[in-house]
Amino acid sequence: MARSRVARLERTKAQRKRTRTIAIVAASLVVTVSAGIAIAVAVRAAQGASSPASAQDVGATRASVHEDLLTSISPDPTMTVNGAGAPIEVPDVVGTAIEQAETLLALAGFSVMRVPTPPGEAAEGTVLSQEPAAGTKLPPGSEVQLIYADSAAASDALAANIPGRARFVVCIDPGHQARANMTVEPIGPGSKETKPKVTGGATGAVTKQPEHELALAVSLKLKEKLEAEGIEVVMTRTAAGVDISNRQRAEVANNAGADLFVRVHADGSTNGDVRGISALYPSGNEWVRPIEARSLRAARIIHGSLINSTGAEDRGITPRADIAGFNWSRVPVVLVECGFLSNPVEDKLLATDEYRQELADAIARGIMEYLGT
């Protein structure tokens, strides 16, 4: 009898230690990941601590922590923080003044993080987007990010007068990678809808060149061209054997504070006759509202430059609401489709060093015009 109680005590102690480790891991995550994930992780760890869980349950907690990080930032609507209060719905504050939004969220029981962004056409101080979106349920005290128009952010981004600092930063994302990663990620902050992290891309009908290789070749030429113009370039990848999701690619651009995020791709179709160049830009959802106008302008200019230079068939510019690499971006973003690898003529052209250089030069000219240099 007594012995089994001791054994049970020992077991409980061991569980506590494990749980504490998870809590520490969770706490350190708060610093590095978005609030939604951190809270979900912390809460799950807390649940592990409060219930008389077996070692297996603790293991399961650990597994679910890992899964949360990989697949979803959507908070679990059923969770509570040790009786600290049921989850509450995040109010819609987009379009209001930042001070008003802050008051509203504080009254609702949330903490606020301000994220200034260049205003574009928006009025100074207006909240342009929020993360997580309105309607998301979070425990009281959770952090809500407010992205708001602030002209000080614009002058920071331009910072032309600081010696030794590049005037502009451009992030280039060569599309795809050697191996696709079909595990999924949310298509935007707080979304339950998911998409594969990175798909495989197109393949040359004749040459068999993979899209990831062509995209990297054009991107490296583009990098060289922009750097020669004094622009700082940040690459999402410079090799084929990487594993970077579309969300992570957008985060590279965000963290770089890029003035423009340029994604280089080529098209594919089941119809081998289809050919031409197009550009995609973000539009049609709350996530991309703050960057839509500037992205559209960049798409028009860069696409125009590509068509003028190459004489390729003009397939126009297309608004897209469903691209994770757009929806996670906080900086203006354009995706160029440099031609159809499924078209034998364009495939052969796209395999040549001269045509790749022509594409890179045309994209660079477009970027320079967009930046106003």
Provide the binding-site residues for Zn ion, judged by CB under 5 A. Answer: 175, 201, 265
- How many helical (H) and strand (E) elements, i.e. helices and strands, does the chain have? 11, 13
- Residue whose beta carbon is closest to Zn ion: 265
Using DSSP's 3-state secondary structure scheme, residue 23 falls into: helix
Closer CB to Zn ion, 47 or 203, in the complex: 203
How far apart are CB 173 and Zn ion at their closest, in Å? 10
Comparing CB distances to Zn ion, the nearer of 40 and 198 is 198
**What kind and span of H or E run contains 29?**
helix 2-32
For Zn ion, the closer of residues 201 and 210 by Cβ is: 201
Q: Which is nearer to Zn ion, 119 or 201 (CB)?
A: 201
Contact (Cβ atoms closer than 8 angstroms) between residue 322 and residue 187: yes
Count of other CB atoms within 10 angstroms of residue 82:
11
Q: Which is nearer to Zn ion, 210 or 290 (CB)?
A: 210
> Shortest gap between Cβ of 265 and Zn ion (angstroms)?
4
How far apart are CB 126 and Zn ion at their closest, in Å? 34
Shortest Å, Cβ 180 to Zn ion:
11
Q: How far is the CB of 202 from Zn ion (least distance, A)?
A: 6
Measured distance CA(371)–CA(23) in Å, rounded: 46
Give the whole-angstrom CA distance, residue 163 versus residue 327: 34
* Owner of token pair 């809808």: 193
What DSSP string runs through 58-114? HHHHHHHHHHHHHH--PPPTT--STTS---EEPP--TTSBHHHHHHHHHHHT-EEEE
Question: Which of residues 101 and 336 has its CB atom nearest to Zn ion in the complex?
Answer: 336
Look-up of token digits 């079909």: 182
Q: CB 316: neighbour CB atoms within 10 A? A: 11
| Minimum CB–partner distance for residue 245 and Zn ion (Å) | 14
